[in-house]
Homo-oligomer: A and B are copies of this chain.
Amino acid sequence: MKIICSKTNLLHGVNIVSKAVPSRTTMAILECILIDASTNEIKLTANDMELGIETRIEGTIEERGVIALDAKIFSEIVRKLPDNEVTIITDNNFKTIITCEKAKFNIIGKSGDDFSYLPYIEKNQPVLLSQFTLKEVIRQTIFSISDSDNNKLMTGELFEITENQLKVVSLDGHRISIRNIDLKEAYDHYKVIVPGKTLQEVSKILPGDLNEYVSIFFTENHIVFEFANTTVVSRLIEGEYFKIEQMLSSDYETKIKINKRELLDCIDRATLLVKEGDKKPIIMNVTDENMELKINSFIGSMNEDIDIQKDGKDILIGFNPKFFIDALRVIDEEEVTLYMVNPKAPCFIKDDNETFIYLILPVNFNAASN
């Protein structure tokens, strides 16, 4: 194989596919990036068997061929090359020579035959979503997946398409994040659970352009994202997602309108009194026109008042401050509305059209000591 391409293009491609290189594996071939110049285009691929990424880069193929190179070493070499044309030459023994200006690297690659190529996917009609919207919806929901493998379903996100609506849901047993997005046209019904890791990596490599689209394909076992010159193929998580409808109620006893920035800053300040592992709740004492926030830990205590607009009853309720911070950080509105029923029932943060719903369970606390 002999190919020539610019350092910039090569580095861009390597950075994209590197997201699918497993950090730990017993199979050395999975730690490789495959350079496939066996046809008339140069493709880079990495695949950890759950998630595979392929991207095409511009360049000249002087001799067709395929080589698998250790991802870490190859990407470090590319990163440190001068900003100029890079030539990659391989021989039958997988000896690989990478040259750029006067710098010349010799490394040993692996046969492309051992590489696990991306699965072949029968593509039907794609669901179209702007890159910006997909990137945003991932950011707005990914924080409430579970990072424990105890319940596999919680490590993924529900992607459900019903006509021209996309619903994205994540939950970890203490909270639920829901985003509803209008699509430009109506599609068949799909309901799949996408691994959180896939979404995190897709989000990192998505340019996030408002006017460029991502094509999403659904199959029995896979989801495929196509954008720019890149294809991401991921396994789906098998199983039946949680029935969340029954947890969503529109009844409330207390409705609070509050400035988002003030609430977020206040809770953020309060958390510095809480050491990791220490489960001190933030207490909200809601009365007319006022929310007093209090936290009490062995380090000290804090309290602060925030002006609010309130409908309904007074309430004294406690929350894990992190859950509120996570949700408030991804809400763009200047003012948010909280709906509460009682100190044991979930609190909802949602907008009137329910484009977003964040459900947060309260925590018990000893009212006397706070």
Q: Which residues of B contact A73 (CB under 8 A)?
A: 272-273, 299-300
Q: Which residues of B contact A106 (CB under 8 A)?
A: 300-302
From B82, B103, B272, contact of A80 by CB (8 A): B272
Q: Which residues of B contact A305 (CB under 8 A)?
A: 102
Bound CA span A92–B268, Å: 30
Number of copies: 2
Closest chain B residue to A77 by CB distance? B272
Q: Given A80-B268, A103-B266, verify A108-B304 contact (CB < 8 Å).
A: no
For chain A, residues 287 to 323, give those with C-beta under 8 angstroms from any C-beta of chain B: 299-306
Contact, CB under 8 Å: B82 / A302: no
Q: Which residues of B contact A304 (CB under 8 A)?
A: 102-104
For chain A, residues 102 to 146, give those with C-beta under 8 angstroms from any C-beta of chain B: 102-108
Q: Which residues of B contact A76 (CB under 8 A)?
A: 272
Contact, CB under 8 Å: A107 / B265: no
Bound CA span A300–B81, Å: 15
Contact, CB under 8 Å: B300 / A105: yes
Contact, CB under 8 Å: A80 / B300: no
Contact string, A86-105, partner B, CB cutoff 8 A, digits 1/0? 00000000000000001111
Interface footprint category on A: 20 to 34
A329 is an interface residue with CB less than 8 A from chain B: no
Distance from A162 Cβ to chain B, minimum over Cβ atoms (Å): 43
A269 is an interface residue with CB less than 8 A from chain B: yes
Q: Which residues of B contact A299 (CB under 8 A)?
A: 73, 107
Closest chain B residue to A103 by CB distance? B304
Q: Which residues of B contact A108 (CB under 8 A)?
A: 300
Bound CA span A339–B299, Å: 60
Bound CA span A303–B303, Å: 64
Distance from A302 Cβ to chain B, minimum over Cβ atoms (Å): 5
Distance from A80 Cβ to chain B, minimum over Cβ atoms (Å): 4
Q: Which residues of B contact A107 (CB under 8 A)?
A: 299-300
From B80, B104, B268, B302, contact of A105 by CB (8 A): B302
Bound CA span A91–B175, Å: 42
Bound CA span A107–B303, Å: 12
Closest chain B residue to A95 by CB distance? B300
From B82, B273, B300, B303, contact of A265 by CB (8 A): B82
Contact string, A226-267, partner B, CB cutoff 8 A, digits 1/0? 000000000000000000000000000000000000000110
- A interface residues (Cβ-Cβ under 8 A, vs B): 73, 76-77, 80-82, 102-108, 265-266, 268-269, 272-273, 299-306
